[in-house]
Structure 1
Amino acid sequence: MAAPEQEQSPAEDQTILKVAFDGLRIANEDHDEATLRVTRLAAARAMRHPKPCEEFRCPHREIDRCGFWLRWKAPRWWAAIIHHKDFSSAAILAQESEEVFESALQKVTDLAARSGVVQEALRSSINHLSRSSLRKLNILDLPDEILLSIFEFVEGWNSEDHLAFDPCFRTTKDIQNSRLVCRRLRDVSSQFLLRTIVVTIDKESVQRLDEISRHTTISKGVRGVRIVLHLYSAELMSLANLLEYCVGDIEEQARMAEAVRSWEFRNGKSSEHDTLERVEQVLAVVGTLRRITTAEHMQDMDPDNGDAADLSEEDQLHRSRLLDTRRQYVSLCVEQQAFMESGEFYRAVGLAIARMPCARRLDIRDTDFECHRRARSVMHPEDDVWASISRFMLLPLTGYHAKRADVSVADRHDITNLLHAVRNAGALLKGIDIKLSNLTGFGGATPGLSRPQELSSGMSQLEYLSFCAEDEDLFEGEAANVELLLSTCADTPSLRELRCDLRSSAQGALIDIQRVLPPRARPHLANLWFARAAIHLSGLKALIEQLPDMKYCGLAHVRLLSGTWEEALDVLRQDLKCRLLCLVEPEGAECDGMAPEDYKAIFNRDQGFHSDAVQFSRGLLRENPLRALRNREQIALEEQSDAMEE
């Protein structure tokens, strides 16, 4: 039986390390000596016996910027070369060089052998010091800070990008796979699982938000909350109106699936035969729905009492099923309205945002087609047709569908109520992004805007503010409320970016830029964009004088209420400090009566960044293009007058 291996003492370990160190030191000295001798002989040959094409440069000597030699101190071996009498003969130099090279080669060979012995001694000592109780390090031994940096690359998004946390542009597949590896990686990567939480106005969605905000790990990675304002309408509580609204969308889905050959885009999930059969079934149901809708309008009766006339027995059965769906719709509408009027919805959202340490961005949308995506489609062959239609009818209205069907929804008190709820919960927002399909209901009395100072106090850290809406007929009351909301939120020195884009018709009311941005110091404002707005020349000059050096400034369809655009371009040239300026189709003043060819030459839409007006404002053109046009017109009038006199 072999005797057990005796454990080495610490003194023996130190002896091994000392021998290894001494061996490396001696090997290093021998290597330096051999290198010095080779270099000395090479320098002697180059200086005493140079070749015709060889240029010799002295070592340790530098040349200054003017080409003069700098003073230098020659090493001792260089002096030995100069005064060595034996180096005067090339034969003697060649013989000594051969001896030196042989000695250097031998030393290098001995050095390689000695290095192997030293490495073996070091490896033996290290293996002994690294006892078996100490395991090898791996990725799980890294601290959380480094693992978080690694998972940022796995996520693959720039945190400063506004689209980085948009659910439509972000995938979490890699993060989900990482959470399945082990418990440690699950705990760390969970912070990247949810960046934006989408919340609809119902108790189930708010309960999900509350659970996420209380999660110890996932809540740390949430950066924003998106509120989707899909609302039920009281106008659709009657069966006739509900059917009239839904029939068109259902028929459009069926026609579209057949026209675009949707089975080719479903990766084999449904065949052409199944899809076409589903289209026929849906169109047959549409015919039934139209008959029931017509009967409801003809009877002009309460749908809960009696049956509609001129309906077959099968249609009567379908009508009874639709009446049950209508009762559920009424219940959901009443429940949602009570949920909002009681303030429970706003308080729950505000408290959840305050609990999450990094959730400081609030997005508000009235249209999000990703919500209830499956329920919105009736073309899934695996679902029952009537069940799909009933599910579709129970969905709340998006802002887009309400606008297209001309159906009224609740007033826009929810926006200001949300902002107040977040402020009352103690959270200071850093970003607000509002996108609305229409501003219907925004012109009434908005309770939240009656306390602008309270709302403004919660915006002390706001950096990003965006308000976009599409409303062809913007009224004065709606424009005034939008101005008050934006001015209240933008009243902070921390603001870095402001966007106001109201895509209204030329006849609609316009937002006054001066009311949105009254004169005050904004040292951090770097990006500014206004579309469909108006301003006076004096207000433009006062605003520009208060703006700092900016990266970007954009004005699209901005109407000048007083003064001329010729003067406005002079103001932009003299006072605006901006790296990138965009001026698209300005309105008002001399632009209204300008000839189309002259307008296009000065304010070319395709060259919003490089038009003549922008080039002059940035100082790249000497003459104001509007002043040049006015001078040309004046000269033409004078010539015409002179011609008439003659």
Structure 2
Amino acid sequence: MDPVSQSLGILDLPCELLFMVFEELKASCWDPDKRKMRIYKIQAIRNVRLTCQRFCSTSSHLLLDSVTVEMNLRSVQRFQDISQHPLIAPGVRSIRILLHYYNGSLVEDLSAYEIYNAGKIRGIVRNLEWEMNHHSRQYTDIFLNRTREGCRQAMKIAEAWEHPGQSDDEGLFKRMARSGHDIYRSLYEEQELLREQRRFTRHVAEGMARMSGARELEFCDPGFSYKPASNYDLMEYGKMMKMLASPSPWDDGEEFYPASPPCEIVFDLPLTLREIGVQLTSLRIDVSLHRPEIDVPSQEHSANLTAAMQSLRRFKYVYGELCYGQPIYHYTFAVLDNSSIEEIHLNRFPNPSECVFEQMIPQRDYPSLKKMRLESCLFHLRCLSRFLNGCNPAVFKHLDLHVMDLLDGTWAETLGILKGSCLDYFSIGCHMGGGSLILGDELWQVKWDDDCPIQFWRQLNIHHVAREISSHD
């Protein structure tokens, strides 16, 4: 080996090879319980960026593939900073918008705010008590005693807020509530400032336009999650105040203290993106659009939404709660009225009793559709047949029907329709009603077990291959 070759090192590699090395490093990060995998991947790239200027410039685009933004000034500023970063911004692929919100009804009524947070405290205490009863061996006696005392003190606070005049420490607890309420009010005012004249929508759209690879959009509501006991210390004032200032989950506006969540963003952002020349390729919605405060869009509005979705390849509406209302039908109709769509995933409970193919999916041809999953929906057999006829048999190969119900016909007839199609794979999981799946002289095995789905698929040179079929009528 000549002296020149011996002196070469990793910094002498071309940028293209360094890109591949750092991509492999990020992909290799693994968390056994899969809870912190994203954190581990980000930390790995952070460490690479700190090594030297060359490593920083060739790895920064891997730092963030997804950016989360909330409707508050701090989050919006962070989002703008990322979108303007010359090295990090090009690597962002997905924007995730958290739609939990600050509730105007709680801002206007301190008593309602106290009762609402007393309910959260009770939920935390129940969760802690259950965990201590079932997993006490994981914790030290000191921790368990402190946590039990914290639960006792927290319940005193909850009871004082729910039943004024019955606690000796009511004055202290009232001051705590007022302090939390002041912070909550200031964050609510930030939120409303961003909602005025669609400022939040404009900030997000302009940021996505600057991030050339960010063409995937997700709307979600993380809700209020009860964390493991080790994450809570109800005797620590700072953590209690953080809970009091936390936003409300989207559904609390219906269930507890009515107030309008920021519904408009789900409708306005795709239109604003189109106005500035950004076409989405993926859209996921994980919040309920069945809300009384959402107006049915006008014909012009629906046409504009359809125009904004002409490059969309993946659409998921996966909110799974019992809901009433019509607006989601208009939304999904507008979104899915395009020839580019490749994957569809719809999840809704069958209420009211209407066919998903008539109410949520336009009657049109889908030349690019490859895969579809429907959950908790109802359908007519004729509509299923019509839909399959509108798909390209050379492209559409995968169909999942999960927790579905028939509006007419039988599951045997449904299976016959699916077998007669060009699908390589189809499944029917935990179906309801419609009759038996035993098909005469064909060797389909049946096992009555709710925990295992019904599956059928085809493979090369094998006309039909059947695994265990599991269902209930």
Report percent identity of matched pairs.
22
CA contact under 8 A between 1:585 and 1:603: conserved in structure 2? no
Compared CA separation, residues 143 and 321, structure 1 to 2 (3 A): same
Q: Deviations over 1:423-443 (max 9, x none)?
A: 22321111111112x455267
Corresponding residue for 1:4?
Answer: none
Matched, 1:482 2:328: yes
Q: Deviations over 1:577-605 (max 9, x none)?
A: 111110134456557xxxxxxxx949865
Name the residue aligned to 1:141. 12
1:513–1:533 CA contact under 8 A, matched in 2: no
Q: How many residues align?
A: 449
Aligned partner of residue 112 in structure 2, secondary structure:
helix
CA deviations on 1:98-117 (whole Å, 9 max, x unpaired) are: xxxxxxxxxxxxxxxxxxxx
Per-residue deviation, residues 439-496 of structure 1 (Å, max 9, x unmatched): 5526731558851221222222211111111222x32xx3x32222222222222221
Distance 1:511 1:149, change over 3 A: farther
User: How is 1:99-178 mapped onto 2 (pairs within 5 angstroms)?
Assistant: 136-156=7-27, 171-178=41-48
Q: Which residue of 2 aligns with 1:203?
A: 73
Partner of 2:317: 467
Output the CA distance in 1 between the equivalents of 2:60 and 2:298.
36
Alpha carbons 1:199, 1:227 under 8 Å: kept: yes
- Mapping for residues 385-396 of structure 1, pairs under 5 Å: 385-396=236-247
Query: Taking structure 1 as reference, are residues 168 and 455 closer, same or farther at Cα in structure 2, changes over 3 Å only?
Result: same
Tell me the alpha carbon deviations over residues 505-553 of structure 1, each in whole angstroms, 9 at most, x when there is no partner: x554456224433343323211111112233333222211121243320
Match of 1:51 in 2: none
Describe the shift of the 1:368–1:138 C-alpha distance in structure 2 as closer, same or farther (beyond 3 A): farther
Of structures 1 and 2, the one scoring higher in RCO (CA 8 A, sep 6+) is 2
Q: Which consecutive residues of structure 2, in runs of 5 or more, have no partner in the other structure?
A: 437-444
Query: TM-score under structure 2 normalisation?
Result: 0.81
Using a 3 Å threshold, how does the CA distance of structure 1 residues 514 and 508 change in structure 2: closer, same or farther? closer
Letter in 2 for 1:445: D
Q: Which moved more, 1:149-158 or 1:190-199?
A: 149-158
In structure 1, what is the Cα distance between the partners aligned to 2:37 and 2:203? 22
Find out whether 1:539 has 2:383 as its counterpart.
Answer: yes
Q: Which residue number in structure 2 is paired with residue 379 of structure 1?
A: 232
Structure 2 residue matching 1:362: 3-state secondary structure:
strand
Look up the SS of the partner of 2:105 in the other structure. Answer: helix
Deviation of 1:214 after TM superposition, in Å, equals: 0.4
Equivalent position of 1:225 in the other structure: 95
Name 2:222's counterpart in structure 1: 367
Mapping 1:591-606, distance limit 5 Å: 601=446, 605-606=450-451
Residue equivalent to 2:277: 426
Q: Which structure has the bigger radius of gyration?
A: 1
Q: Which of 567, 573, 583 is residue 428 of structure 2 equivalent to? A: 583
Determine if the alignment matches structure 1 residue 343 to structure 2 residue 188: no
Distance 1:353 1:432, change over 3 A: same
- C-alpha spacing 1:566/1:273, structure 2 compared with 1 (3 Å): closer
1:368 positional shift: 5.7
Residue 421 (structure 2) pairs with residue 571 (structure 1): no
- Residue 557 (str. 1) matches residue 408 (str. 2): no
Structure 1 residue 196 displacement after superposition: 0.7
Report if aligned partners of 1:212, 1:218 keep a CA contact under 8 Å in 2. Answer: yes
Greater helix share, structure number: 1
The answer on whether the counterparts of 1:497 and 1:525 sit within 8 Å (CA) in structure 2 is: yes
What residue number does 1:397 align with? 248
The residue identity in structure 1 corresponding to 2:204 is V
- Aligned residues: CA RMSD: 3.9
On the 8 A contact 1:253/1:377 being kept in 2, the answer is: no
Q: Which residue of 2 aligns with 1:354?
A: 209
Contact kept, 8 Å, 1:196 with 1:222, in 2: the verdict is: yes
Provide the residue aligned with 1:293 in structure 2.
Answer: 162
Q: Deviations over 1:45-91 (max 9, x none)?
A: xxxxxxxxxxxxxxxxxxxxxxxxxxxxxxxxxxxxxxxxxxxxxxx
Alignment of 1:324 onto 2:179: yes
**For 1:268-288, what per-residue CA distance to the aligned partner results, in whole angstroms no more than 9, with x for missing partners?**
xxx542452243144224314
Shift of 1:349: 0.5
AA partner of residue 547 (structure 1)? C
Match of 2:440 in 1: none
Q: Distance in 2 between matches of 1:491 and 1:590?
A: 34
- Cα pair 2:429 2:455 within 8 Å, conserved: no
Counterpart of 2:403 in structure 1: which amino acid?
Answer: H
1:184 to 29, 54, 61: 54
Whether 2:268 is the aligned partner of 1:417: answer: yes
The superposition leaves residues 333-377 of structure 1 with CA deviations (integer Å, 9 ceiling, x where unpaired) of 24313422420001101111111011111111111668x989x99
Contact (CA 8 Å) 2:96, 2:219: kept in 1 or not? yes
TM value normalised by structure 1: 0.61
Look up the equivalent residue of 2:340 and give its one-letter code.
S
Shift of 1:149: 1.5
Letter in 2 for 1:413: E
Please give the per-residue CA displacement for 1:240-264, whole angstroms capped at 9, x wherever unaligned.
2222222233244345435434887
Q: Give 1:410's aligned amino acid.
A: P
Q: Unaligned regions of 5+ residues in structure 1, if any?
A: 1-122, 159-163, 296-308, 592-599, 626-646
